[in-house]
Structure 1
Amino acid sequence: MNFTRNAKAQWKGSGKEGHGTLTTDSTVLENTQYSFNTRFEDGKGTNPEELIGAAHAGCFAMQLSFLLGEADYTPNTLDVSAKVSFKDGEIVKVTLDLKGDVPEIEASEFKKIATKAKDVCPISKLLDTEIVLNASLA
């Protein structure tokens, strides 16, 4: 399967006082605000790091679902949170916290498949940083 997805950013003004918008072709983000405040302080809007976290959590959950299916398991739910850690101008770690409700799977098998999903998830492969996985069953 081959495809291309598109997003665009517009920034106006200086780094600290300026502001920008993000838009995706799907329009899920449509002129969504971001700024110094939303990135480094508490402001209304989004920021690149939380978008990376959302992309990583979503990609990993879907990848895990596919791998569980290949092993004849169907998850009821896979709840994933991604904590993106930023330090001194770079993303230094992403922590994926996974809680799965998967009938009839042993914890060791679940962790094995979840680890594989972390390793082969396209967003994991894109990121050049430490990725930590904490996995548990409900």
Structure 2
Amino acid sequence: MTTRNASARYEGFGKTGKGHVSSESGVLADTPYSFNTRFGDEKGTNPEELIAAAHASCFTMALSFGLAGAGYTEGTLETKAAVKLEQDGAGFKVTRSDLTLTASVPGIDPDQFASIAADAEKNCPISKVLNAEITLTHTLND
């Protein structure tokens, strides 16, 4: 149905190398990434941050569509995703993505909201592609 593109370039190798990532839309345009943006505090991005942004936005959009399908037309959804990178033998592995949602949906029953949110967490395309534990914690405000 849809194909989206991004590219990455890395110059040099290992800890001293420097990379840049760009996306088809131009939102990312030669955005720097490196060992120090991934494991240190150098300004730039890293793969786990990009996965977290993708997961938070995908889940939030899926939830928005689920709520619209249930007849809700207004409210706000704010999601944070915390993607964990852990040692895996000689390499690393993304082991989990923890979604934390704060929502305001006027008139919704909390049980119905929890059901729609759980379905969105399970079925958003990024959740489906991740081979990691995914958790969802939510707060529904009046």
Gaps of 5+ in 1: none
- 1:66 alignment counterpart: 65
Given the two structures, how large is their TM-score scaled by the length of structure 2?
A: 0.94
Residues in 2 aligned to 1:71 and 1:104: alpha-carbon distance in whole angstroms: 12
- Pairwise CA distance, 1:37: 0.2
In the other structure, the counterpart of 2:50 is 51
Aligned-partner SS, 1:16: helix
Which residue in the other structure is 2:4 paired with? 5
1:99 maps to which of 79, 102, 108: 102
Q: TM-score w.r.t. structure 1 length?
A: 0.97
Q: What amino acid is the match of 1:8? A: S
Alignment of 1:1-138 (within 5 A): 2-88=1-87, 89-138=92-141
What whole-Å deviation, never above 9, does each CA across 1:18-57 have from its counterpart, x for those lacking one?
Answer: 1000001110000000010000111100000000000000
Unaligned ranges ≥5, structure 2: none
For 1:25 and 1:92, how far apart are their aligned partners in 2?
28
Q: Displacement, 1:136?
A: 1.3
Q: Structure 1: which amino acid aligns with 2:50? A: L
How far apart are 1:73 and its partner, in Å?
Answer: 1.3
Q: 1:128 is matched by which residue type in structure 2?
A: N
Percentage of identical aligned residues: 50
Mapped contact 1:75–1:100 kept (Cα < 8 A): no
2:41, 2:113 → 1: CA distance? 37
Structure 1 segments (4+ residues) deviating >4 Å: none
- The alpha carbon displacement at 1:75 in A equals 3.9
Q: Distance in 1 between matches of 2:20 and 2:113?
A: 40
Q: Per the alignment, in what secondary structure is the counterpart of residue 119 of structure 1?
A: helix
Matching residue's letter, 2:18: H
Aligned residues: 137
